[in-house]
Chain A
Amino acid sequence: MDKLDKPLTKNIQPDRAFATLADYRKTGGYQGLRKAITELRPKEVQQWVKDAGLRGRGGAGFSTGLKWSLVPMGNNGAADAHQTRYLVANADEMEPGAFKDRLLLEQDPHQLLEGMIIAAYAIQANIAYIFMRGEYHLAARRVENALQEARTEGYLGKHILDSDFNLEIYLHTSAGRYICGEETALINALEGKRANPRAKPPFTVVSGLWGKPTVVNNVETLCNIPHILQNGVEWYRGLGRGADTGTKLFGASGRLKHPGLWELPMGTPIREIIEEYAGGMRAGYNLRGFLPGGASTEFLLPEHLDVLMDYDAVAKAGSRFGTGTMIILDDKTCPVRMVLNIEEFFAQESCGWCTPCRDGLPWTVTLLRDIIAGRGRIEDLDTLSGLTRMMSPGNTFCALAPGAMEPLQSALKFFREDFERYILGKIAVVEEDQ
């Protein structure tokens, strides 16, 4: 384990509050930026990141380099030579079960800034924003402080590292809504509008913030960039254990011996994460299932423990990689109540824009509450299934409701008897453990 490279968390050490600029530079900080700006052209930086195989760590897993390459660049034609472009770091981490970006923001803020400066250089954006979850007070303070340091040191502002490249980064703390993590809702919120998602197409790389080409990248994604530049594509590709490259912050929460967060190679088997790093289940609890990528992913079962944690392997198993932060269902927790808890969250966080989500999620909650309260009817399970179909991808405006349906539809499949027990009036055999 020690011999594994842990580029993202190497500066995070238990004996200090966080990595200062000096700490960051001591381990090679801002070397990647220097290399990018002094040795590479923007398009080359894009190519490096594309070749490195980095995929978005916010949940969708889209190739970061490919996303950048879709931005209309100045050298493509005179018409867009003076085009304004924006980079936005999505630090609105609100997925239930996910706390990976928080760690990176609080513990090593310069890593994010360096990643952003390189990314902005790669797409030739001169203005960048960090859109941060409103509750992340400590992170906001440390990032703001780091921004000041970076300005003082010439990493931000005019003529960065004596080049022609200029960049200013602004920190924006969110007023707070889950949907702000959706990149187009985030853009609307940043513009001061209601945080409703936008229709795609047009994609943000064509028309994003204030109608200009915009790249929105997750914090963890951006944190990978400096290391790719510093250590090279081959090194980065070598970090993965499965089909995907690099490392990833994996989390596990639930009744485990050591719930937590670990930087591990992409493609680490789920069993290894749960049994080795999290130490397995607490005494007296057995694993019944888990949501591998956070609250908006489908349940997997103990039989899936040997699946590798990478995008395609988890998808093949019937769920989603998501944010890589898994939530464990043990045998003393009622899956129906767990699903209700999740659906209450998503129903509350629906932006209210499209019908299936706005009215379907609250109905889902009503049905689940009825079932748990003993008012359920057997046909309610069909209604719930119908709602999962209504809210499947493409039927709704954005991915919120389809995500919300993933734990429900898999629970209906894997744990149907738990639902039926409530409805048929049998005593709930699974007692809630306080």
Chain B
Amino acid sequence: MITIEIDGVHYQVKTETSLLSACLSLGLDLPYFCWHPALGSVGACRQCAVIQYKDVEDKRGRLVMACMTPVADDMRISIDAEQAKQFRAENIELLMTNHPHDCPVCEEGGECHLQDMTVMTGHTVRRYRGQKRTHKNQYLGPFINHEMNRCIACYRCVRFYDDYAGGSDLQALGISNNVYFGRFNDGALENEFSGNLVEVCPTGVFTDKTFSAHYARKWDLQTAPSVCVHCGLGCNIAPGERYGELRRVINRYNGEVNGYFLCDRGRFGYGFVNSPERILKPLINGQSEIESAAAEQHFRDLLKSDQPVIGIGSPRASLEANFALRTLVGEEHFFLGLDNTEHDMLDAIDSILHNGGIHSPSLREVEQSDAVLILGEDVTNSAPRLALSLRQAVRNAVFDLAETLHIPSWQDAAVRDLGKNHRSPLFIAGVCTTRLDDAAVRCYRGSPDDIARLGFAIACHLDNQAPEPADLGDVERALAATIADSLKTAKRPLIVSGTSCASLAVIQAAFNVAKALPSKDRQLTFTVPECNSMGLVIIGGGRLQQAFERVREGLADTVVILENDLYRRAQDQEVDAFLHSAAHVVAIDCLNNKTTEQAELLLSAATFAESEGTLLSNEGRAQRYFPVYPPPEHVRASWQWLSAAAEGLKWRHFDALTAACAETFPELEAMTRAAPDASFRIRGMKIPRQPHRYSGRTAMLANIKVSEPQQPLDPETPFAFSMEGATAKVQSAMEPVIWAPGWNSNQAINKFQEGIGGHLQGGDYGVRVFEAAGAGDWFNTIPQVFEPEQGLWLIVLLPHIFGSEELSLRSPPVAERTLAACAMLNPSDAVTLAVASGDLIDIRNLNGKTMASLPVRLEPSLPAGLLGITAGLPETRQISQADRVTLVKTGNSGEQS
């Protein structure tokens, strides 16, 4: 720490930081535009000018840009000096010469950084009398609006999109005050993190198109802390509601997890909550809607069956809901509802993370790793936010180089100018090209078995105790040696793997590599498919196939299916047989699907936006989501349906259920501390979900009744569906809305952190439930080299950010970005089959049954003998990972068009 003097007051600040960052960390107000806490300094906007004095004698000082000035011991500066204040006000005046006077109709209004900064500097009267320059706007896809006239040319958008997120189709074009930020042509922004532009842009150039379709002001949105349900990473989100509709999702800062950014699936996948396919009232036999009280009774009656009732859990349902079902049906009658391979893999991951003795990193820790090996994952598509962190991790080498040249790490442009190619090693072994390849030093393409073999070879090269793959090819041997040497010298090496390859061997190989690493700070992370995959395996239960058997063998006749479309987990005929032979099927879910269609009793479940629950991320972090608004009248949280049915059980309330779950599973003991419980009060008050400026409450329902109804009660959480309540001293991580006086935009987050970009004051959200223990034994089962069999192709399901995840696919803008289903083949295989790109082929299983008929796409990076299929789409649902199939051409591309 060093001491600096700001306007006559002495402060202790961290070294190695810019003066702007230091001032903001101290809670001082200093306006800025081009600087962003995650993007560093470039000195473009000239807004953060302050006066720096040489010494105590110096009365005049000189104007410096705080963002470009390193802090130094005994430094003397002034923010309030008249000259600095005048410069900042006039700089805003310049920025505003071309800015439209459209705040009242601008969607950014009320959370606009430009508004905040303008007010902060005191610029009020425009002297400029000239014409304003105007721009044409572009169509940028279903996620984002473009309104270039509002642009103040801070360059943050391109710095985030191109420099930080690795995009290439958004550029700064033009010069002078005609500088333009857009694409070469109209078209959807290609980068998977484009939605962050909405928050990165300090004004209303890039706004959320899904939000503007049904817009509300920030202060009119009701909000509660929440967690993204669209992959296993557990990014923190702040969903906003108005009039009983979820209107948008924005990032909620978590210093350990997602930081400032979300992926586009997480941001724009929420539309399923408002879907017309929502189940809003319990339904009997798919026809007659019943009241929820009657449904409860019906449910209880069905559970009174003489035969055992079996329950099928879900990786997208909360720990509490799964636990409630397990308790309701009994441990021996609870099944996880995963496909067999996924079940195996998640078990293996669970066991490695618990007993393997290797730390599973948070995303913050991922960003600090200095060498990375990815085994078998296209991370951008399977766990997108992790890819963004890995993109930052490869920059650690250039930060080290910058340090030797005395270039501060926050000097963003200067560090980047040191060279894009100077990066920490990232090795990617995948079945075909991935979206992170451009950041990698080497990429390897092979079948899942070959990827596993490469991993085993690397492990063996690192530690000769590790088993060695037989018949290793020269190429693989040399590559393994290169990768091993690179990982060996790293201080914080990271191995990334996951379930995408559907290969247990790949997961085991990843563990062997991690175990073989000499560094004590080695890390191992696995991506998992769904938001509570990790939680579900920790609760544990039988396999889906066993559930099928139970019913088939008449050992059970009633089935309760929790938030799970079994047709995504097993073959149609198996599920059909299962559901038909069960006497009674109860399904609890939020959206209609093929499984719910067959339920005798369908119970209308709340989504994450209308209920509470705890999710366990792939890292092992338990995080709670809270209802943003009360569910519709006949919709209940799954745990509520289940606990209402469980007569005689002691958990009538959510907290009791959470406590019972934590008590039952020692690994989950910490989950009760994921967030405060319902008894939480500050001076006797709950935390309000509605901002203090929430408007129209007394008028919202005036078309129905003029007297204001009582606000809904919330006995389950620390939050109130109200404007009234505790507004001071709320722990930062529990703040529904980030706001500070004078800071209406998301940049207010600076006021809630322990230093810029640091942890939230009072601690980041969530709690890690387990830490690495044990040492884990080597895995010794090494697959053979993959040899394509003539006439047979091995299926590899390739996840895609838009389309592979069940719930987000039900959001129209995400569905719009989904790739058309296709069958990807190596060109040499296409020659063998005499098919061309666009030709239709039948994909048949070994019994000759056609599972899908898809157009061919040639993918040179996919090894011969593999058939790449986008995972999770309706058309590809019946195609199972790792199946062997035959291919028959049924039509040519001419017929297609």
Chain A: residues with CB nearer than 8 A to chain B? 79, 177, 194, 198-199, 201-202, 206-207, 210-211, 347-356, 358-363, 366, 370, 383, 386, 390, 394-397
**Interface assignment of B236: CB less than 8 Å from any CB of chain A:** no
Given contacts A350-B175, A363-B128, A390-B94, contact A355 B47 (CB under 8 A): yes
Q: Is A199 in contact with B91, judged by CB distance below 8 angstroms?
A: no
- Please pick, from B130, B175, B411, the residue contacting A177 in the complex, using a CB distance under 8 A: B175
**Interface assignment of B728: CB less than 8 Å from any CB of chain A:** no
The 10 closest A-B pairs by CB, nearest first: A352-B179, A211-B418, A366-B130, A211-B419, A359-B94, A350-B176, A352-B175, A362-B177, A355-B46, A202-B407
- With a cutoff of 8 Å between Cβ atoms, the chain A residues found around residue B91 in the complex are 355-356, 390
- With a cutoff of 8 Å between Cβ atoms, the chain A residues found around residue B174 in the complex are 352
- With a cutoff of 8 Å between Cβ atoms, the chain B residues found around residue A206 in the complex are 405, 407
Given contacts A356-B46, A359-B95, A383-B127, contact A207 B414 (CB under 8 A): yes
Q: Is B90 in contact with A211, judged by CB distance below 8 angstroms?
A: no
Q: Is A397 in contact with B43, judged by CB distance below 8 angstroms?
A: yes
A-B CB contacts (within 8 Å), total count = 109
Digit string of B406-449 for contact with A (CB within 8 Å is 1, else 0)?
11000101100111001000000000000000000000000000
Q: Is A394 in contact with B63, judged by CB distance below 8 angstroms?
A: yes
Residue of A nearest to B96 (CB): A359
Given A199-B42, A355-B47, A394-B62, 12 more A-B residue pairs with CB atoms under 8 Å apart are A79-B404, A199-B43, A211-B419, A211-B422, A352-B177, A355-B45, A358-B176, A359-B177, A362-B177, A370-B129, A395-B49, A395-B63
Q: Is A198 in contact with B413, judged by CB distance below 8 angstroms?
A: yes
Digit string of B60-102 for contact with A (CB within 8 Å is 1, else 0)?
0011100010000000000000000001001100110110000
What are 26 contact pairs spanning A and B, CB under 8 A? A194-B172, A198-B414, A198-B417, A199-B43, A199-B413, A199-B414, A202-B406, A202-B407, A202-B411, A207-B407, A211-B417, A211-B418, A349-B176, A352-B177, A353-B155, A354-B43, A355-B95, A355-B153, A358-B176, A359-B98, A360-B94, A362-B97, A363-B128, A370-B130, A383-B127, A394-B64
Cα-based distance from A361 to B155 in the complex (angstroms): 19
Residue of A nearest to B68 (CB): A199
Chain B: residues with CB nearer than 8 A to chain A? 42-47, 49, 62-64, 68, 87, 90-91, 94-95, 97-98, 127-130, 133, 152-153, 155, 172, 174-179, 404-407, 411, 413-414, 417-419, 422
Cα-based distance from A388 to B736 in the complex (angstroms): 46
Of A198, A202, A355, A363, most B-chain CB atoms within 10 Å: A355
Cα-based distance from A250 to B94 in the complex (angstroms): 37
- With a cutoff of 8 Å between Cβ atoms, the chain B residues found around residue A363 in the complex are 94, 97, 128, 130
Give the Cβ gap from B699 to chain A, nearest Cβ, in Å.
Answer: 42
Cα-based distance from A352 to B133 in the complex (angstroms): 14
- With a cutoff of 8 Å between Cβ atoms, the chain B residues found around residue A359 in the complex are 94-95, 97-98, 177
Cα-based distance from A199 to B418 in the complex (angstroms): 13
- Please pick, from B46, B129, B130, B417, the residue contacting A354 in the complex, using a CB distance under 8 A: B46
Cα-based distance from A355 to B97 in the complex (angstroms): 11
Give the Cβ gap from B754 to chain A, nearest Cβ, in Å.
Answer: 28
Give the Cβ gap from A404 to chain B, nearest Cβ, in Å.
Answer: 12
Give the Cβ gap from A204 to chain B, nearest Cβ, in Å.
Answer: 10
Q: Is B413 in contact with A358, judged by CB distance below 8 angstroms?
A: no
Q: Is A207 in contact with B417, judged by CB distance below 8 angstroms?
A: yes
- With a cutoff of 8 Å between Cβ atoms, the chain A residues found around residue B153 in the complex are 352, 355, 358
Q: Is A352 in contact with B46, judged by CB distance below 8 angstroms?
A: no
Give the Cβ gap from B17 to chain A, nearest Cβ, in Å.
Answer: 16
Q: Is A199 in contact with B411, judged by CB distance below 8 angstroms?
A: yes
Cα-based distance from A201 to B69 in the complex (angstroms): 10
Q: Is A202 in contact with B179, judged by CB distance below 8 angstroms?
A: no
Give the Cβ gap from A193 to chain B, nearest Cβ, in Å.
Answer: 9
Q: Is A395 in contact with B43, judged by CB distance below 8 angstroms?
A: no
- With a cutoff of 8 Å between Cβ atoms, the chain B residues found around residue A194 in the complex are 172
Residue of B nearest to A177 (CB): B175
- With a cutoff of 8 Å between Cβ atoms, the chain A residues found around residue B418 in the complex are 207, 211
Q: Is B90 in contact with A358, judged by CB distance below 8 angstroms?
A: no
Of B45, B94, B129, B152, most A-chain CB atoms within 10 Å: B94
Q: Is B94 in contact with A352, judged by CB distance below 8 angstroms?
A: no
Give the Cβ gap from A409 to chain B, nearest Cβ, in Å.
Answer: 16
Cα-based distance from A363 to B177 in the complex (angstroms): 10
Cα-based distance from A351 to B153 in the complex (angstroms): 11
- With a cutoff of 8 Å between Cβ atoms, the chain A residues found around residue B179 in the complex are 352, 358
Q: Is B128 in contact with A366, judged by CB distance below 8 angstroms?
A: yes
Q: Is B414 in contact with A202, judged by CB distance below 8 angstroms?
A: yes
Residue of B nearest to A194 (CB): B172
Cα-based distance from A370 to B131 in the complex (angstroms): 12
- Please pick, from A347, A349, A366, A395, the residue contacting B46 in the complex, using a CB distance under 8 A: A395
Q: Is A354 in contact with B44, judged by CB distance below 8 angstroms?
A: yes
Cα-based distance from A176 to B420 in the complex (angstroms): 25
- With a cutoff of 8 Å between Cβ atoms, the chain B residues found around residue A353 in the complex are 44, 155
Give the Cβ gap from B66 to chain A, nearest Cβ, in Å.
Answer: 13
Residue of B nearest to A383 (CB): B127
Q: Is A362 in contact with B419, judged by CB distance below 8 angstroms?
A: no
Cα-based distance from A198 to B44 in the complex (angstroms): 10
Cα-based distance from A184 to B484 in the complex (angstroms): 39
Residue of B nearest to A72 (CB): B405
Cα-based distance from A298 to B645 in the complex (angstroms): 87
Q: Is A349 in contact with B417, judged by CB distance below 8 angstroms?
A: no
Cα-based distance from A396 to B87 in the complex (angstroms): 11
Cα-based distance from A396 to B47 in the complex (angstroms): 11
- With a cutoff of 8 Å between Cβ atoms, the chain A residues found around residue B129 in the complex are 366, 370
Cα-based distance from A121 to B380 in the complex (angstroms): 47
Q: Is B176 in contact with A348, judged by CB distance below 8 angstroms?
A: yes
Cα-based distance from A79 to B404 in the complex (angstroms): 11
Cα-based distance from A38 to B19 in the complex (angstroms): 50
- With a cutoff of 8 Å between Cβ atoms, the chain A residues found around residue B94 in the complex are 355-356, 359-360, 363, 390
Cα-based distance from A206 to B43 in the complex (angstroms): 19
Cα-based distance from A359 to B404 in the complex (angstroms): 37
- With a cutoff of 8 Å between Cβ atoms, the chain A residues found around residue B177 in the complex are 350, 352, 358-359, 362
Residue of B nearest to A347 (CB): B176
- Please pick, from A79, A201, A352, the residue contacting B176 in the complex, using a CB distance under 8 A: A352
- With a cutoff of 8 Å between Cβ atoms, the chain B residues found around residue A199 in the complex are 42-43, 68, 411, 413-414
Cα-based distance from A397 to B34 in the complex (angstroms): 13
Of B49, B91, B95, B177, most A-chain CB atoms within 10 Å: B177
- With a cutoff of 8 Å between Cβ atoms, the chain A residues found around residue B46 in the complex are 354-356, 395-397
Residue of A nearest to B398 (CB): A211
- With a cutoff of 8 Å between Cβ atoms, the chain A residues found around residue B172 in the complex are 194, 352
